[in-house]
Structure 1
Amino acid sequence: MSVPRYGDLPVIEALGLPHAWDVWGREDNLGTLNHLTSARVAAAAAEIATGQRFALSLPSDLIDPPLFGRKPMTRDVFAGSRNEWDERFDSVYPQAASQWDGLLHVRAREHGFWTGYTGDPPDAGGRLGIEHWSHGITGRGVLLDIDALRRARDDWDPLTPEIVTAADLREAAAVQGVEVRAGDILCLRYGWGAAYRGLDAAGRIAMADTPTFAGLEGSAEVAEQLWNWNIAAVAADNPAIERAPGDPAVGSLHRRLLPLLGFALGELFDLDDLAAACRADGRWSFFLVGVPHRVPGSVASAANAVALR
C-alpha cells in the first residue's frame, strides 16, 4: 500500500502535531510494524552470510541502580524437589533493561494512544497490547554508528545531552555506505552502553538520580525523516532513543513517534559487539529478530533480540 509522506498527514490542531491514525485503520494494533511484510522479511533472510550471532540484550543486572525510579529485580533460586531447582523473579520491570516500548506506553494527552484509543491500559480489552507484536519484530536491520560519526567530528560524550539530528542520521548512512530501506529496523549506536559500563558506582547512582544522555532531537525534522524512510522500528543503545533531558520548546520525540505515528521503539540495546563486526567488514545490515513477550495488554516487553549476519 502507499503510505503518505509526513507532510501529508493530518494534524491534531490542539497539539500542532501530525498523526497517522488512519493509515492502517482505527483498529490497528501494529503501527509501523505493518511495514514488515512477508516479502520483506523473506528478502531480509539474505542478510545472513557468515552465521555470526549477536545478543542485543544487556545483562539484566547491568543497569544498577535502575533508571527512572524503578526497583531492582530480585531472584530467588530454590529446590523444587530433591533433584530439581526452580526460581522466582520479583520486581520485574520490562523497561528496566533492553526493551520494546509498546503502543500503550505513551499517550498524546487527552487525544489518546495510537489510533486515538482513549481508554487506560488496564481497560484496553485487547487493543494495542504488545502481545500483538509477539509474532516477531523480524527483518532487515541497519546499524548507524552515531558514536563513530560524532567522535570523528567533535567532542562527543554519550553521557551528556548532546542532540542527534536528522542530518546526522543521513550523514551516518552516507559515510557508512548503507541504504535505509522500507521495512528496516533501524539501530542507532550512540556509545551509551560502553560509556555506562565505564562508570563507577557513584557515576551510576548519579545517572539513576538524574538520567542524562545523548540521543535524537525531539524535533519534527527527526520524526519526518524516520517516517519518510518507512522503517518498521527504531532501536538505540541509550535509555530513551531521544536525548535527556529534552527541550520542552522542541517537544517529546516519544509523543511524536509512539501515540501519533505508531513506531515500535527499542531501548537499551547492546550494539557494541555488533557494531565492531559491522565495522570489520564494512557491512552494516543484518537480520534482526526480536520477540516481545506474549502478555495480553502489556505496555512493554524485554527485547529478546538477536542479530544474525
Structure 2
Amino acid sequence: MPMPDELSEAEFRSLYRRLRGTASGGGRRRGALDTITAEQVLAAVREVRSGRTVSLAAPVETRAEPDDADPAEHRLTAPADGEPVAKGVDFARDRFAMNVHSDVDSHLDALCHVIYDGTLHGGIPAADALSPEGASVLSVELARDGIVGRGVLLDIPRVHGLSWLEPGSNVTAEDLSAAETRQGLRVGRGDILLVRVGHRRRREELGPWDVAAARAGLHPTAMEFVADREVAVLGSDSNNDTAPSAVRGVAFPVHVLAVHALGLHLLDYLRFEDLAPICAREGRWSFLCVIAPLRLPAATGSPVNPLAIL
C-alpha cells in the first residue's frame, strides 16, 4: 500500500479549520454524539439477528511491557492475611487503579482530553476548564447514559490481503472507501465507526513493542472521510493516530481533528480479533454497538468494554 504524504503544520492547520467548520458535532453540548437519534438507535437494534454478544475490549494489562510502562494495578485487599475465615461469612475484596490513557488498555477519550492551542473542543479555554480536581466541562460524564448505535467495522488489512498493517502504516480515506466497497456497506450519519489495523493480532502473535515510536493508524486526511459521513464515534484497535506522526511539528493529529475539531469521542486500543472473523463468515459488518463508560463526572476518559451484538 503506497504511503501518503507527510503534512506540514500549515497544511494540517488548513485541514483542521476546514473540518472544524463543517463538523456535525461542532457547537453541540455532546459533540458528535448528538448525531445518534432515537430512530437510529431503534434501527440499530434491528441489526440484531442471533443475539450473540462479542466484547471489543482487550483484557486489562497489569504487567509492565514495552508498550505499557505504567500498567494497571490490581490487588486483593481482603482477606487481610490471604486466608478466609474458617467459619461464617467472609468477603474477598480488591482494589484497581489505572492510567486511563495508556498505550495498551481499551478506553474512551472524552471531549476534554485533547488540548490544542490552549483550548478544548468548542474553543473553551483549557485553563478555565481543567484543574487537579478534574474537568468542569466536556468530561466523560457527557456519555453517562451510554453510547448505543450502529457499529460498523472496516477491516483495512483484509482489503490488502494482510493479517495486520505494519507499524508506521497510514490508513487513508481511499482505504476506508475500499473497505466499504469490499464489505458491501456504507458508513453513515450517527454510526460508530471502528477501524481495524490489526494492532492486537500483531501484538498477540509477535509480542509487545514500543508503540509510541511506531504504530499503524489513520492518516490525518482520512478524517475528511469521517467528517463527510458524520459519524458519532471513532474507534480503532490501535491509538487511531499513526506513529511517527504524519504531521511535522504536530503530535497526535488525528486526536486533534477527531476530538478537538469534530467533537468525536475516540475509542483507543480496542480488540477486534473475535469480531472480525464472525463478520467475515456471516458477510455482514454492521451490528448493534453498546458502549458504557464509568460514571466519572470530572474524568478525561474511562476504561470501556464495548459490546457488539449480532
Q: TM-score range by the shorter chain?
A: 0.7 to 0.9
Match of 2:286 in 1: 285
**CA distance in structure 1 between the aligned counterparts of 2:22 and 2:180, rounded to whole angstroms:** 29
DSSP-derived class of the 2:293 partner: coil
1:107-122 paired onto structure 2 within 5 Å: 107-110=115-118, 112-120=119-127, 121-122=130-131
Distance 1:211 1:84, change over 3 A: same
Match of 2:255 in 1: 254
Return the letter of the residue paired with 2:174: A
Distance 1:93 1:21, change over 3 A: farther
Distance 1:13 1:253, change over 3 A: closer
Q: Deviations over 1:186-238 (max 9, x none)?
A: 111111111101134xxx2x426x4411111022xx22210110111111111
DSSP-derived class of the 2:231 partner: coil
**CA distance in structure 2 between the aligned counterparts of 1:278 and 1:233, rounded to whole angstroms:** 20
> How far 1:297 moved relative to its partner?
1.4
Paired residues of 2:62 and 2:74 also in contact (CA < 8 A) = no
Distance 1:71 1:29, change over 3 A: farther
Match of 2:50 in 1: 50
1:1-309 paired onto structure 2 within 5 Å: 15-16=13-14, 17-18=16-17, 19-20=20-21, 26=27, 28-61=28-61, 64-65=64-65, 67=67, 69-79=69-79, 82=85, 83-90=90-97, 92-96=98-102, 97-110=105-118, 112-120=119-127, 121-122=130-131, 126-151=136-161, 157-200=164-207, 204=208, 206-207=209-210, 210-219=212-221, 222-238=222-238, 240-249=239-248, 252-309=253-310
Return the letter of the residue paired with 2:240: I
DSSP-derived class of the 2:160 partner: helix
Q: Deviations over 1:235-284 (max 9, x none)?
A: 1111x112111122395111111111111111111111111100001011
**CA distance in structure 2 between the aligned counterparts of 1:75 and 1:218, rounded to whole angstroms:** 40
Q: Deviations over 1:107-159 (max 9, x none)?
A: 1212x11111113422776310111112111100011111111236xxx7534
Unaligned runs of 5+ in 1: 1-11
**CA distance in structure 2 between the aligned counterparts of 1:143 and 1:23, rounded to whole angstroms:** 21
**CA distance in structure 1 between the aligned counterparts of 2:257 and 2:274, rounded to whole angstroms:** 30
> How far 1:62 moved relative to its partner?
7.3
**CA distance in structure 2 between the aligned counterparts of 1:244 and 1:129, rounded to whole angstroms:** 26
Paired residues of 1:73 and 1:93 also in contact (CA < 8 A) = no
**CA distance in structure 2 between the aligned counterparts of 1:304 and 1:56, rounded to whole angstroms:** 6
Distance 1:174 1:229, change over 3 A: same
Q: Deviations over 1:276-303 (max 9, x none)?
A: 1000010111000001111111101112
Q: How many residues were matched structurally?
A: 284
**CA distance in structure 1 between the aligned counterparts of 2:199 and 2:12, rounded to whole angstroms:** 35
Distance 1:66 1:139, change over 3 A: farther
Paired residues of 2:121 and 2:263 also in contact (CA < 8 A) = yes
> How far 1:95 moved relative to its partner?
2.3
Return the letter of the residue paired with 1:52: R
Distance 1:189 1:22, change over 3 A: closer
Q: Deviations over 1:75-114 (max 9, x none)?
A: 2342278421111123x1222310111111111212x111
Distance 1:77 1:144, change over 3 A: same
Distance 1:246 1:296, change over 3 A: same
Instruction: Report % sequence identity.
Output: 27
Question: What's the Cα RMSD here?
Answer: 2.6
Q: Deviations over 1:30-71 (max 9, x none)?
A: 111111111111111001001111011100027842746534
Unaligned runs of 5+ in 2: 1-9
**CA distance in structure 1 between the aligned counterparts of 2:72 and 2:96, rounded to whole angstroms:** 11
TM-score after normalising by structure 1:
0.83
DSSP-derived class of the 2:126 partner: coil
